[in-house]
Amino acid sequence: MRSGVVAALASAPLLLLLGAAPYPVGEVPLPGRMADTGGGTQLITAEASTTAATSGTVTWWDRRGGQWVKAGSAAARFGARGLVEGTSRRQGTSTTPTGLYDLPYAFGIAAAPAGVKEPYRRVHQNSWWCQDNNARSYNRWTEPLPADCRDSEAEHLIAYDPQYSLALVIGFNYHAPVRGRGAGIFLHVNGEAATSGCVSVPQDAMRRILAWADPARAPHMAIGTSGGATALTRY
């Protein structure tokens, strides 16, 4: 028997003790095939079949004992015009940016769910997300809306219910914003259809993700396709 098979079999009891189903011998879970997972021990993957798809799957993973183990999954929605490489995305295109991103903080119209560990910001009547390329607060939460950010170029967060009842900020174009690339990309609760560029999941899944995510474990989110130039395994 090959040594790799022996090692895989030997690890199965440990995985069972940890409450995770062992993967078939020789099958490497998706995060184990990725070029980069962000360096932490938690990862969310959002996978679409192709860049033209508007739906797919979100899966959240834990790294335990040197192996990635699936913690949960849910059906996902993407931008109404599919997905596009994050570094070439343009604002207003209704596309979801592919890539690997951190998750700066959580927010919501609803109160923070029990067990949430991420910093959680409650939405108020004067909470806005500025998307005005000419504003100093571009791609930032503002309270109230500043004079240099037009309301026509901003999202009034409280108006997006159920979408922003619970959400996580995705760190796309966030830390060093490039004007015109896009603003306000979140993981949030499903609306009626595809998104304007965010990733969305059912409300129960969003609640479970927020109870699971732990900033001490440096969670990241990878968005991509099953194959091709925007394959998740590239990130």
Q: Can you give the pLDDT at residue 27?
A: 86
Per-residue pLDDT of the chain (235 residues; tens, 9 = 90+): 333 433 343 444 444 334 444 555 558 999 999 999 999 999 999 999 999 999 999 999 999 999 999 999 999 999 999 999 999 999 999 999 999 999 999 999 999 999 999 999 999 999 999 999 999 999 999 999 999 999 999 999 999 999 999 999 999 999 999 999 999 999 999 999 999 999 999 999 999 999 999 999 999 999 999 999 999 999 9
Q: How far apart are CA 214 and CA 119, in angstroms?
A: 10
**At residue 223, what are phi and psi to the nearest 5 degrees?**
-120, 130
Model confidence, pTM: 0.89
Query: What's the pLDDT at 128?
Result: 98
Structure confidence at residue 8 (pLDDT): 40
Q: Which residues face 201 on adjacent strands?
A: 189
3 state SS of 28: coil
CA distance 41 to 220: 9
Q: Could you give the CA distance from residue 209 to residue 150 in angstroms, rounded to a whole number?
A: 33
CA–CA gap between residue 209 and residue 213 (Å, rounded): 6
Strands 140-142, 220-225: pairing kind: unpaired
Looking at residue 73, its amino acid is S
Could you list the beta-strand ranges (E) of the chain: 42-48, 55-64, 67-77, 83-85, 96-102, 106-108, 120-122, 128-130, 140-142, 154-156, 167-169, 186-189, 199-201, 220-225
Which uninterrupted H or E stretch holds 5? Answer: helix 3-17
Residue 24: predicted pLDDT: 59
